[in-house]
Amino acid sequence: MVGIEDVSLSFISQPQPDPLVLELNHLQNQLKDKDNELSAAQNEIKASRATQAHKEKALDELKANYDKLEEKLRATENVLQQKNLEMKKLADEKKDALAAQFCC
């Protein structure tokens, strides 16, 4: 049977790891963690750029649609103005015709 003294002696007699090896392992672990953080940040940047590109594309499409609608509005306003002028001309001609009937 192994006693307490035997366990403590076996523990003491085991070679202790070299502090340089421990520090090197610690630094390698930190480097892996930082690499993982960097990869995550790079992926986030790529996703953000893709999102930004989609937003810009959608904005360009909206602007093009807006420009088309604005041009259509200008054309409709011109047609409306022409129709109003025609209606005024017809109204004036009607007045002149009625005045001519009652005048002579």
At 70-95, the pLDDT tens digits run 999 999 999 999 999 999 999 999 99
pTM of the model: 0.55
- What distance, in Å, lies between the first and last C-alpha atoms of the chain? 145
Q: Residues 14-48: pLDDT tens digits?
A: 777 899 999 999 999 999 999 999 999 999 999 99
What does DSSP assign to residue 14?
Answer: S
